[in-house]
Amino acid sequence: MSARAWFVAAVAALVATLAASPLAADPATDTAFQRAFGERFFDRYWQLTTDAAIVNGYYRYADSLRVPDAAERATRLEQLDRWLAALGRIDTARLSASLRADWAILDSQFRGERWALTEQRAWQWDPSTYNVATGFAMLLDRTYAPLDERLRTFGKRLANVPAYYAAAKATVATPSREHTQLAIEQNRGALSVFGPELERTLAGSGLAPNERATFTTQLTAARAAIEDYVTWLEALDARLASGAVAPRSFRLGRELYEQKFGFDIQTGVTAEQLYENARAEKARLLQRMGVLADELWPKYFPNLASPDDELVKIGRVIDALSLQHVTRERLVAEVEAQIPELERFVREHDIIDLDPTRPLMVRETPLYERGIAGANVESPGPYDAQAPTYYNVTPLDDLSAEAAESWLREYNRWMLPVLNIHEAIPGHYAQLVYANRSPSLVKSIFGNGAMIEGWAVYSERVMLEAGWEDHKAEAWLIYSKWNLRSVSNTILDYGVHVLGMSEAEVMSMLTREAFQTEQEARDKWKRVSRTSVQLTSYFAGYSAILALRAELQRGRGDAFDLKQFHEQFLSYGNAPVRVIRELMTER
């Protein structure tokens, strides 16, 4: 079956299941589903994916590292087939709405994992699949148990590191150079988790001398195994470079791309359709930005004729607006001051109800979590729901004057609120509060990325439409530049992986037609050459939510209530937009 036909058939089957006779919900069916996919299911799932388990705050199997060999893949495949069979025995027509969404999420999760093992086979051509750092680092960083207990768990987990990398070396064949280099870089970085700092932690712990001796022996062996993998990859990379081994292309290709998109995105359109929509949206955005730039030109360049080149003209106005920004010292305080303003605006404009009992706490990002500059919402995992939610803002202390100025120009006086809208209110944070109201482990663990990012991107638009910044041309122009980033991400991801777009074409598109800096464009090229599909999730979710809103507006006319739409949309948790649409449009 072609990728397209396959996708259409899969969607049709699922839509048919979801739409079938929703009136006959039956509590016994709900109970059967919850029994089959409740606590015991998750326990088994985490047993097979101990790294992901640790990331999600489930530590029961943290002392065992799975060895990624052929037997392991066979075990996972067999388990996936058993779960898929169990799903098949559930009469979805008799499930309540929220559980039908859970069923659909699990179904695509299992089929997606199965596809990744049997069709995509990244375990064979992406050496960066193999890296033990994350799980170990989290056992040290997270204080879920006393240090000594965590060190004992860490020590047991070390035992399989040599077998882990031996399996990796036996499995990797014909990788791409990009993924090989990524694996070298990341595994080199992994060594820092097993370095002098850990030795100091061990020395200061309450472990007995014999425990420490065993720990140290295994630590030395683990370090050697990682170093050996890096050396082996370097030799492999040299053979790939010389042509002694033919490298695979990092580009996914049309068929695999469309299939992966089908599992991951789930907004109801194909990758090809989304690409075409993005191109049309980009043309509309640039046209609008041209009009806004004309309006602003005389204000910012009173004595200068505007350039004939539309893109140059837009770029010059954006540059002029970017000079308005906070000082680096004021950044965190400014973000802190904006949160209550956003809350008030959301309330006064009937955008969505915010829970006053769950205020967002703004803080400077803790040192051990600092990576790239910026801001993000840090939410407690589903197994630690009592932990507070923070809005982490990273001060620019570590940046050079030049790098800080570049960051501040990007997140200028007009852009910084858009970042806060996206990350916090009414973006990711508000979405999270709603998702937590109807707790579903399935939805929080396997949440749909396009729905989550799509909501945040959509929320920016809603705020501007409602008159945030009083419909000023400056605000719309800078917002449009930001929005153009999501649109461009889709064009370049599909362009690179399916249509063979070159690095030069990507650089030119992003710097000239999306007004990005050289640095941002270079980073984006790096990201697209190492990942696929994820970059489309922002525009995919955003455009699907806008389409759903338009559909409901047409259907309900004057009775359409924006606030009610937002609250109902978020009430299903992190379900795919396609599934939410089914649930919102059924009668």
Residues that bind Zn ion (CB under 5 A): 453, 456
Single out the residue of 277, 255, 252 nearest to residue 267, CA to CA. 277
CB of 331 to Zn ion, least distance (A): 13
Q: Starting at the edge strand that comes first in sequence, how are the strands of the sheet with 375-378 ordered? A: 361-364, 390-393, 375-378
HEC profile of 512-541: HHCCCCHHHHHHHHHHHCCCCCHHHHHHHH
Beta pairing, strands 390-393 & 375-378 = antiparallel
Which residue blocks in 363-516 are alpha helix, DSSP H? 401-410, 416-423, 428-437, 441-445, 449-465, 473-497, 503-508
CB of 412 to Zn ion, least distance (A): 9
Q: How far apart are CA 101 and CA 22, in angstroms?
A: 12
Q: How far apart are CA 573 and CA 435, in angstroms?
A: 4
CB of 309 to Zn ion, least distance (A): 25
CB of 453 to Zn ion, least distance (A): 5
CB of 92 to Zn ion, least distance (A): 31
Beta pairing, strands 361-364 & 390-393 = parallel
CB of 423 to Zn ion, least distance (A): 7
Coil vs helix vs strand at 363: strand
Q: How far apart are CA 17 and CA 91, in angstroms?
A: 9
Choice between 453 and 460, CB closer to Zn ion: 453
Among all residues, whose Cβ is closest to Zn ion? 456
Distances (CA, A) of 494 to 190, 448, 511, 518: 31, 20, 18, 21
Choice between 389 and 564, CB closer to Zn ion: 389
The answer to whether the beta carbons of residues 77 and 8 sit under 8 Å apart is no
Tokens encoding 283? 């043309």
Contacts of residue 357, defined as CB under 8 A and 6 or more positions apart, other chains included, come to none
Choice between 53 and 456, CB closer to Zn ion: 456
Choice between 247 and 541, CB closer to Zn ion: 541
CB of 455 to Zn ion, least distance (A): 9
* Tokens 């984006």 -> residue: 524
CB of 432 to Zn ion, least distance (A): 11
Q: How far apart are CA 132 and CA 222, in angstroms?
A: 10
Single out the residue of 181, 180, 49, 170 nearest to residue 126, CA to CA. 180
Cβ neighbourhood burial of 373 (10 Å; 0-12, 13-18, 19+): buried
Choice between 205 and 406, CB closer to Zn ion: 406
Choice between 94 and 316, CB closer to Zn ion: 316
CB of 409 to Zn ion, least distance (A): 6
CB of 322 to Zn ion, least distance (A): 8
CB of 405 to Zn ion, least distance (A): 5
Contacts of residue 180, defined as CB under 8 A and 6 or more positions apart, other chains included, come to 127, 233, 236, 237, 240, 247
Cβ neighbourhood burial of 284 (10 Å; 0-12, 13-18, 19+): exposed
Single out the residue of 449, 461, 473, 433 nearest to residue 540, CA to CA. 449
Distances (CA, A) of 416 to 48, 334, 466: 42, 9, 18
Choice between 362 and 456, CB closer to Zn ion: 456
Choice between 456 and 583, CB closer to Zn ion: 456
Choice between 178 and 453, CB closer to Zn ion: 453
Coil vs helix vs strand at 104: helix
Choice between 131 and 322, CB closer to Zn ion: 322
CB of 452 to Zn ion, least distance (A): 7
Choice between 237 and 453, CB closer to Zn ion: 453
Helix (H) or strand (E) holding 54: helix 50-55
Choice between 393 and 456, CB closer to Zn ion: 456
Choice between 156 and 409, CB closer to Zn ion: 409
CB of 408 to Zn ion, least distance (A): 6
